[in-house]
Amino acid sequence: MILEIKNITKNFGGVNAISDTSFCVETGQIFGLIGPNGAGKTTMFNIITGNYKPTSGIVELDNEVISGLKPYKIVRKGIARTFQNIRLFSSMSVMENVLIGFDFHAKYTFFEGMFKLPRFFKAEKEIKTKALKILEYLGLEMLKDESAVSLSYGQQRKVEIARALATSPKLLLLDEPAAGMNPAETKELASLLQRAKEDFNLALLLIEHDMKFVNQLCDRVLVLDYGKSICEGTPSEVINHKDVVAAYLGDFIDG
């Protein structure tokens, strides 16, 4: 298992956002979290990435407890994340946004960077070469000098994924990656994530409302309802589960 969520509970005052929830993500697996707004999906992401501390329970990455660590330390451990609302640096180019992802891997000291010593230039050249390779992989190399926020929505999503890949993650968390995309972009994204899983040796954990996208991409799915797990299984098992159909997917299935 690359990720193990063990009996996680998260309370905000008197509100129980997540209640005694457990699941595992295997190495090389694409795992989906689904459920209505307010089900606790993003809260779970925030716990995994260290933005929230769980009220109880633990998070393990590669059999190491990471719950309670600072977010930057969790990134160094091998977890990267994208957001439902794309978060790019508006004053920076596509290349500059991706280079930020390599910050933790810089092979020079603050002193060497400040005084522009030889190792600084060597390391910067290596990082730019790696960043360009990621942009080429995502089909963005021709846009490297463009302002990131001037791109189309689908291209901005790719830039955010490129920045996440630059951190060399073991596990990539994607918060509604297909939101706002047209059917062609969604299909392309699913193909891209499937390839990236293999080529970058990743496990993927995603939140998504587009059930066609989930069915196409995910190996397993967990359904949350008010912070509680009501069903886990393959997409086909979950889609056909009576409680899930009744609660969330009736219109989709009937259509």
pLDDT, residue 144, reads 92
Residues of the chain with pLDDT under 50: 110-111, 113, 115, 250-255
Q: For residue 249, tell me if it sits in a domain.
A: yes
Q: For residue 86, tell me if it sits in a domain.
A: no
**Do 73 and 111 lie in a common domain?**
no
Q: For residue 85, tell me if it sits in a domain.
A: no
pLDDT, residue 120, reads 57
pTM confidence score: 0.87
Q: For residue 87, tell me if it sits in a domain.
A: no
Cβ count within 10 A of residue 237: 13
* 111 residue type, one letter: F
**Do 204 and 245 lie in a common domain?**
yes
For residue 140, the enclosing domain spans 92-167
**Do 153 and 119 lie in a common domain?**
yes
Q: How many domains are contained in the chain?
A: 2
pLDDT, residue 89, reads 80
Is the alpha carbon torsion for 32, 38, 43, 44 positive or negative?
Answer: negative
What values do phi and psi take at 102, rounded to 5?
Answer: -90, 0
Structural tokens at position 187: 């299909």
Q: For residue 83, tell me if it sits in a domain.
A: no
- The pLDDT tens digits of the residues spanning 137-169 come to 999 999 999 998 899 888 999 999 999 999 999
**Do 208 and 155 lie in a common domain?**
no
**Do 96 and 74 lie in a common domain?**
no
